[in-house]
Amino acid sequence: MQRFDPLRDAKPRMMEYAVPRREGMTVLDALLYARDYLDHSIALRFSCRQASCGSCGMKINGRPRLACYTQVAELGGERVVAQPMDNFVIIKDLVTDLESFFAKHREMMPYVIRADTDELEHPSAEYLMKPEELEKVLQFTYCIKCGLCTSSCPTAATDSDFPGPQALTQAYRYAMDPRDEGGRKRLELLDSVHGVWRCHYAGSCSYVCPKGVDPALGIQLLKRHVMSGKTPRREGAKVFSAPTPQK
């Protein structure tokens, strides 16, 4: 596994730990064995151990995965290589700093915005979505904010101001909520130099998501949503018709 303490080390180094394998062992189990019995200084982050909290995201054999959701047996071979997620600052070893990730999530206002704040604070009724409205955004609500999609994103690797697939997907989820009235505010964030157009549709975010979310799809739908929001400003634009073929 990769070891690196920015307070002491000039650069990361790889260390090997021999862990006895057992049936059903996850990569998180193996790392915890190494920490508990071989080297107490190993730093890693985890919590639920059931792919619900998103805390144990890391790069395993070169691919972003949840350590608790990855069986050692499914990787094949004798060696497992654990490294911290790309596109994040390393705090220590496998622990990365997710502060900017959550800041971008918050920036997208991932909640229902309403003009009637009194009703929002003291609701007088339940405001339900119709099943067909929920269907449009349901998969995006399964996000556990693990950061794996952002760690795999080539745009996030080169543009630190890019919100990333997770934040953009949540922007789409709330933009499509029929109860939401925050459209214009979010559009300004999305339709910017570092916004939704920076996604070049590599698709790696959807490939690595452990919860079956398809952020790449969400971002493409978000682009369409942004364009439809821009339509009023384009009303005066000249419309060109196809030239009439000459006989």
Is 226 a binding residue for ligand SF4 by CB under 6 A? The answer is no
Q: Which stretch binds ligand SF4 (CB under 6 A): 45-53, 119-127, 193-201, 211-219?
A: 211-219
Pick the piece of the chain touching ligand SF4 (CB under 6 A) from 27-35, 194-202, 210-218, 237-245. Answer: 210-218
213 binds ligand SF4 (CB under 6 A): yes
The single residue among 58, 72, 94, 148 that binds ligand SF4, judged by CB under 6 A, is 148
Query: Quick one: 186 or 211, whose CB is closer to ligand SF4?
Result: 211
**Is residue 57 classed as helix, strand or coil in its secondary structure?**
strand
Please give the Cα distance from 217 to 221 (Å, whole number): 6
Among 215, 216, 225, 226, binds ligand SF4 (CB under 6 A): 215
Nearer to ligand SF4, 95 or 144 (CB): 144
CA distances in angstroms from 27 to 30, 83, 177, 239, listed in the order given: 5, 12, 38, 58
- Six-digit token string for 82: 């654990």
Name the H helices within 71-214.
72-75, 99-107, 117-121, 131-137, 148-152, 154-158, 164-175, 183-190, 204-208
| Binding residue for ligand SF4, selected from 95, 98, 147, 216, defined by CB under 6 A | 147
Strand order in the sheet with 82-83: 63-66, 57-60, 82-83
Taking the least distance from each CB to ligand SF4, the nearer of 32 and 146 is 146
Taking alpha carbons only, the member of 205, 193, 194 closest to residue 146 is: 205
Closest CA to 143 of 181, 117, 110: 110
- Per-residue binding letters, 151-180, with ligand SF4 (x by CB under 6 A): --------------xx--x-----------
Q: Which is closer to ligand SF4, CB of 26 or CB of 139?
A: 139
The span from the CA of 163 to the CA of 114, in Å, is 23
Contacts of 122 (CB under 8 A, 6+ apart): none
- Closer Cβ to ligand SF4, 4 or 105, answer by number: 105
In the chain, DSSP finds a helix count (H) and a strand count (E) of: 11, 7
The answer to whether 90 touches 6, Cβ cutoff 8 Å, is: yes
Residue 222 in the binding site for ligand SF4 (CB under 6 A): no
The whole-angstrom separation of Cα 36 and Cα 54 is 22
Q: Tell me whether residue 92 or residue 211 sits nearer to ligand SF4 (CB atom).
A: 211
Q: Mask of contacts with ligand SF4, 92-131, x by CB under 6 A?
A: ----------------------------------------
Among 1, 32, 146, 156, binds ligand SF4 (CB under 6 A): 146
Residue closer to ligand SF4 by CB (options 54, 182) is: 54
Per the structure block, which two tokens stand in for 41? Answer: 């200084």
Residues contributing to the site for ligand SF4 (CB under 6 A): 54, 143-149, 165-166, 169, 209, 211, 213, 215
